Structure 1
Amino acid sequence: MYCMAFHCPKEIQVTWTVLENSGKRVTVEDHGAPSNEESEQLLSDYEVRTGQSQRDGLYNAVSSLTFTPTGSRNRNMTITCSFLCDGKTRKKSVKWSLDSDSCPQLDDIIVPCLVHGREAKLQCEIRRYFPNNLEVKWLRRDADRPDLYELSSDDKYKILEMDVTQDPDKTYSCTASLIVSISAKTDQGSEFICRVKHPTLSTYVERCTGELKVAGIPVIQSNVQDDNIIVLEVDRLYTEDLVLTWEEANNEHGPYKMIKDKNITTTRTENSDGSFKIISKCDVSYVLLEIKDRYFKATVEHSALKSPEEIIFYNKGCFEKLFKKEKLSLERVPKTITKSNNDLKSVDGSVNPV
């Protein structure tokens, strides 16, 4: 803010007085220090600069008061500039308030399709703020946990530098961006928050993504085909790090040994959404003539699973099968679902079969 005085017979002394919204009064002399010996904080909040010139024996002065608005403190202020010259004082007072239209306006965070093993960019547009003095933080809340923690750039996160533009109405706009390396293990159900502070605000404002849903968590199904072929389907895959093994044993708890590759066939099918499905078939007809119980175990390992998935089938041997040469009667061993993988959901919200 500026105030001017002209044609004074002697040098001019300038004093600025600020009556803040809280009722607190601050007086600043033209040498820049608060006259009532306020704290150093006030010295940095308000600064006065005065220049004087002389012409034809008369003095002219131009004085400025500079400060950074800080929310409710600087709303509805009264600012007074006083000129003292030759024992006479002239004052000029104005009402000043922050314009609520200059507060930052946040759009909802744009969340793209989140796929395990890929990067995703989260974006929050911030508009119509003034002055250009914005503080932006990205925070995270893990699934089923209430605590927030601030993020910084590292191997998993990249916080991009904001490109600020000034609009025709002199307000500013920018886009806050966070790049995340998506992992189904750690990001499923988590939330990200964009938090903004600005001098026009008495507290921060923020936007939240809501609970994230991550694609690329394997959906596992199994069945028996032609009475002697175990079929395992692993669908919704986006990454190539699937490990699938077939083993057999004489009892449910092993020890298990690997089934020969000649008994296993594997095919791959591409899906329209960019994912793919693996179908693995294990032919166990070679145990038709055995009289012992036989257990067959398929183990699925993938980076999106919190722990490997095991599926066990068994054939209960008997003499009748030996002499009559009946077909295998394969049944699936019941399994208690572990909480870790039961919590993992596919992108459409269904629980992964086990």
Structure 2
Amino acid sequence: MKWNDKKTSEPNRTSQNSDGTYSVHSEYKLPGRFFSHPDSVVRVSWKHDSMEDWESRELSVHDKDFPWKANVQDITVPNLLIGKAAVLKCEVSNVFPDVLTVKWLKKEKGGQDLFPVVHSQTYNISELRPEKQKDKTFTYKLCLKFKPSISTEEGAEFICRVEHPTLEVPAEKSTGPLTIKGDHPLPSPVLGLHTTSPLL
């Protein structure tokens, strides 16, 4: 057996089946960032005396059988109150390899153009950090913190755009048009007592 036209340094494990045939198990260890480039391909080839020629199988990040596909979660929109800090979270799970680009974009009310959201006094964007999971994949989270305003956020949309080698096109999740609510205290009820004296 060969991996990418090279013999593996690990010995193959052979086991006999109940019908008298044999099964061969072969492993090939790759650098963690091998699949960082979308054109990277792993090819395993095998040849037996009963075969006329080599046979092979390939695996790349675009194959349906590729076990890791970056999964972008829906954005949960909290209650947005005027002047009260709010946080939008963009979470991406099942990431491998750990090469990821995540951006926040904004679409103005009634518009179609997307504008990049940058870290500023208005918009606080957290640092993008990977969290390694038990299955060796990574989870990323990018938070956007801001204080909603009727003039700038009412009816606008925030979009999280994710780029990863396993995605043929960038994946996007949107908040949908935002609704900003006022944060004014309700008027206190006024209790009054009105009596009418009987006419004498």
Pair in the same fold by TM > 0.5: yes
Aligned to 1:106: 72
- Residue number among 146, 161, 183 corresponding to 2:127 in the alignment: 161
1:125 Cα offset (Å): 1.7
**Structure 1 segments unaligned to the other structure (5+ residues):** 7-63, 81-90, 217-235, 238-274, 280-354
- Give runs of aligned pairs for residues 174-189 of structure 1, distance below 5 A: 174-189=140-155
Q: Larger RCO: Structure 1 or Structure 2 (Cα < 8 Å, ≥ 6 residues apart)?
A: 2
Cα distance in structure 2, aligned partners of 1:102 and 1:192: 27
**Structure 2 segments unaligned to the other structure (5+ residues):** 10-29, 46-53, 190-200
**In the alignment, structure 1 residue 276 sits paired with structure 2 residue 195:** no
- Contact 2:119 2:125 survives alignment (8 Å): yes
- Give runs of aligned pairs for residues 121-136 of structure 1, distance below 5 A: 121-136=87-102
TM-score (norm 2): 0.66
Alignment deviations for residues 236-274 of structure 1 (CA, whole Å, 9 cap, x no partner): 52xxxxxxxxxxxxxxxxxxxxxxxxxxxxxxxxxxxxx
The answer to which structure has the higher helix fraction is 1
Name the aligned partner's letter for residue 144 of structure 1. Answer: G
The number of aligned residues is 154
1:108 Cα offset (Å): 0.8
**Over aligned residue pairs, what C-alpha RMSD do you find?**
3.1
- Contact 1:70 1:200 survives alignment (8 Å): no
**In the alignment, structure 1 residue 198 sits paired with structure 2 residue 161:** no
**In the alignment, structure 1 residue 146 sits paired with structure 2 residue 112:** yes
Gap change, CA 1:147 and 1:169, over 3 Å in 2: same
- Give runs of aligned pairs for residues 155-304 of structure 1, distance below 5 A: 155-216=121-182, 237=184, 275-277=185-187
Cα distance in structure 2, aligned partners of 1:5 and 1:68: 19
Cα distance in structure 1, aligned partners of 2:35 and 2:44: 14
1:186 Cα offset (Å): 1.2
The answer to which structure has the higher strand fraction is 1
Alignment deviations for residues 60-105 of structure 1 (CA, whole Å, 9 cap, x no partner): xxxx88844433x346x6478xxxxxxxxxx997633235431111
TM-score (norm 1): 0.39
SS at structure 1 position matched to 2:67 = helix
- Contact 1:134 1:197 survives alignment (8 Å): yes
Name the aligned partner's letter for residue 89 of structure 2. Answer: Q
Cα distance in structure 1, aligned partners of 2:59 and 2:109: 46
- Contact 1:101 1:128 survives alignment (8 Å): no
Gap change, CA 1:159 and 1:169, over 3 Å in 2: same
Cα distance in structure 2, aligned partners of 1:133 and 1:70: 10
Aligned to 1:70: 37
Percent of aligned pairs with the same amino acid: 31
Cα distance in structure 2, aligned partners of 1:174 and 1:180: 20
Cα distance in structure 2, aligned partners of 1:5 and 1:138: 43
Aligned to 1:25: none
SS at structure 1 position matched to 2:99 = coil
Gap change, CA 1:95 and 1:5, over 3 Å in 2: closer
Aligned to 2:59: 96
| Bigger radius of gyration among the two | 1
Range that drifts further, 170-179 or 159-168: 159-168
